[in-house]
């Protein structure tokens, strides 16, 4: 897996972890709100009622925000997918400037958050005393003093993660990422501000209780002074985070509505030729293998696949049915204007494709060593020894690379329905892959390959046929019930 995909995966998992944490905090405070009893008349009862309002405030902001963030975040496969080879969409320039600026503001907010945190830790040690706390007596004062600083730090972290992920994913996903992170940040920022307000209200109730006795008047003054300090430091932090969240709202709106405005400009629909197309006669590679992928000259192996529609079907045996990994495939082309039905056999162990009922192997798939977790296979024309192309897994997509390792085509899920893929190069469809369960159900699944008219010359047919067994196994294993 490439470094950029690893970074996107790490950022996505961090955002999802924060959303799960927000959701669990919401569930915990909801349970606490339901368990806090109604207080009796008087200051003590008012204090219990204020604690219940605090719990309800946090629960009703964290719960929906965390759930919405998890639901709106694009799936991992979409986050990791690379942009198409043809002219990729790009974010508006204003968004590209705004997102790093908002991330920098989040980082700057970490300075007062750290100061707030250190002050509250010192106050907690003053209240509970130094040393270990085997009885857990510091849990309640620690929660009161540290909950809002923790939420503020999580809000700032969510903003920085959202900026990074939105800038790294495909432009059409940036709006979805920002909407999901906006729900996460909005819940954290609003919940933190409400929690601080309610905690200051609880402190006010405590001051009233302490002021009722002459013996505790000094303590009441001390609590009131500390509440004023918390309001000054925490109020500034929470207000700043709310303003930053407003900035992310503007970025999400811009990414959602303006990301593709350049499509309307003249020349936006122009076709870009694949980078693997050679303008002249292809020269030999360093190992004297002719680079034919992406040229107008088909390989000798491609000449055998001259039908418009092919079917790739595993030959199911008892043991392979249980494991789902079949060692042999049948490949046949339907009869059409070019001739009658033709049949081939693919052997997974050797990677070779040969005609049936008998004949010499015409092409082979050679697994490249060290390809985990992104497997790669070389497609070789065995009649000449020429390397046609390399198939590299980019799950759920597949990339087709030329002999120099440059992407020239991509096979990705089609919007036409489940278990359907389309191969594209330079904005044009080359062929469509459709996976079905045959009349025997799981005993005879099949993958149909239907070539598009005019696809010849853009990519060697043998390469697209060679992908058939790989794609059939991928779809079938992914669709098995767990």
Across 1-5, 70-74, 312-316, least confident range:
1-5
Residue 62: name the closest of 193, 240, 244 by CA: 193
Q: Which residue has the higher pLDDT, 62 or 90?
A: 62
The tens digit of pLDDT for each residue in 173-214 reads: 888 899 999 999 999 999 888 888 777 766 665 555 555 566
Q: How confident is the model at residue 281 (pLDDT cuts 50, 70, 90)?
A: very low
The b/e string for 428-437 (b: 16+ C-beta within 10 A; e otherwise) is bbbbbbbbee
* H helical segments located in 372-460: none
pLDDT at position 291 is 37
Rounded CA separation 382/355 (Å): 13
pLDDT at position 26 is 92
Collapsing DSSP states into helix, strand and coil, what is residue 389?
Answer: strand
Rounded CA separation 29/8 (Å): 32
Residue 464 near residue 448 (C-beta atoms within 8 A) = no
Neighbour tally for 330: CB within 10 Å: 16
Q: For the chain, give the mean pLDDT.
A: 79
pLDDT at position 70 is 92
Q: How confident is the model at residue 286 (pLDDT cuts 50, 70, 90)?
A: very low
Q: Which residue has the higher pLDDT, 355 or 226?
A: 355
Domain-by-domain residue ranges, the chain? 3-264, 300-479
What are the residues whose beta carbons fall under 8 Å from the beta carbon of 3, sequence distance 6 or more?
Answer: none
Rg of the chain taking only CA atoms, in angstroms: 31
Phi-psi region for residue 339, left (φ > 0), alpha (ψ -120 to 50) or beta?
left
The b/e string for 274-307 (b: 16+ C-beta within 10 A; e otherwise) is bebbeeeebeeeeeebbbbbbbeebbebbebbeb
Across 256-270, 360-374, 377-391, least confident range:
256-270
The DSSP output letter for 168 is: H
Residue 66 near residue 19 (C-beta atoms within 8 A) = yes
pTM of the model: 0.62
What are the residues whose beta carbons fall under 8 Å from the beta carbon of 32, sequence distance 6 or more?
Answer: 55
Collapsing DSSP states into helix, strand and coil, what is residue 221?
Answer: helix
The tens digit of pLDDT for each residue in 3-21 reads: 777 888 899 999 999 999 9
pLDDT at 368 over 70: yes
pLDDT at 264 over 60: no
pLDDT at 453 over 80: yes
The average pLDDT across 407-434 equals: 88
Residue 132 near residue 299 (C-beta atoms within 8 A) = no
Across 23-27, 200-204, 352-356, 366-370, least confident range:
200-204
Rounded CA separation 333/328 (Å): 17
E strand intervals along 207-337: 309-314, 328-333
What are the residues whose beta carbons fall under 8 Å from the beta carbon of 386, sequence distance 6 or more?
Answer: 289, 290, 291, 292, 299, 380
């Amino acid at each position: 897996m490439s470094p950029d995909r690893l970074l996107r995966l790490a950022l996505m998992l961090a955002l999802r972890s924060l959303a799960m944490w927000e959701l669990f905090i919401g569930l915990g405070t909801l349970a606490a709100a339901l368990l806090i009893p109604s207080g009796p008349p008087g200051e003590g009862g008012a204090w219990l009622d204020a604690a219940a309002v605090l719990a309800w405030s946090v629960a009703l902001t964290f719960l929906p925000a965390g759930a919405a963030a998890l639901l709106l975040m694009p799936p991992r496969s979409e986050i990791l997918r690379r942009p198409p080879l043809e002219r990729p969409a790009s974010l508006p320039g204003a968004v590209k400037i705004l997102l790093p600026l908002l991330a920098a503001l989040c980082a700057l907010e970490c300075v007062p958050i750290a100061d707030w945190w250190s002050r509250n830790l010192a106050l907690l040690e003053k209240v509970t005393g130094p040393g270990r706390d085997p009885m857990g007596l510091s849990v309640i004062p620690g929660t009161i003093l540290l909950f809002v600083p923790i939420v503020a730090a999580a809000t700032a972290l969510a903003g920085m993660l959202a900026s990074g992920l939105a800038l790294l994913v495909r432009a059409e996903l940036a709006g979805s990422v920002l909407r999901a992170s906006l729900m996460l940040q909005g819940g954290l920022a609003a919940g933190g501000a409400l929690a601080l307000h309610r905690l200051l209200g609880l402190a006010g109730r405590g001051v009233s209780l302490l002021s009722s006795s002459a013996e505790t008047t000094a303590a009441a003054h001390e609590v009131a002074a500390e509440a004023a300090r918390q309001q000054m430091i925490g109020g500034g932090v929470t207000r700043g985070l709310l303003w930053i969240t407003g900035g992310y709202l503007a970025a999400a709106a811009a990414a959602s509505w303006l990301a593709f405005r350049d499509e309307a400009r003249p020349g936006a629909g122009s076709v870009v030729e694949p980078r693997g197309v050679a303008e002249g006669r292809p020269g030999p590679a360093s190992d004297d293998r002719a680079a034919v992928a992406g040229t107008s000259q088909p390989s000798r192996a491609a000449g055998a696949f001259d039908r418009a529609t092919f079917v790739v079907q595993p030959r199911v045996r008892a043991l392979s049915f249980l494991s789902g990994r079949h060692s042999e495939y049948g490949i046949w082309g339907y009869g059409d204007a070019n001739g009658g039905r033709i049949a081939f056999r693919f052997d997974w162990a050797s990677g070779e494709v040969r005609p049936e009922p008998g004949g010499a192997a015409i092409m082979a798939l050679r697994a490249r060593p060290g390809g985990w977790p992104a497997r790669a296979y070389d497609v070789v024309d065995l009649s000449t020894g020429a390397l046609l192309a390399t198939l590299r897994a980019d799950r759920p997509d597949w990339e087709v690379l030329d002999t120099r390792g440059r992407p020239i085509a991509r096979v990705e899920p089609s919007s036409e329905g489940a278990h359907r893929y389309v191969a594209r190069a330079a904005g044009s469809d080359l062929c469509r892959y459709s996976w079905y369960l045959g009349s025997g159900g799981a005993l005879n699944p099949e993958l149909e390959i239907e070539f598009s008219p005019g696809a010849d010359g853009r990519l060697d047919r043998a390469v697209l046929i060679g992908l058939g067994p790989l794609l059939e196994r991928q779809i079938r294993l992914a669709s098995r019930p767990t």
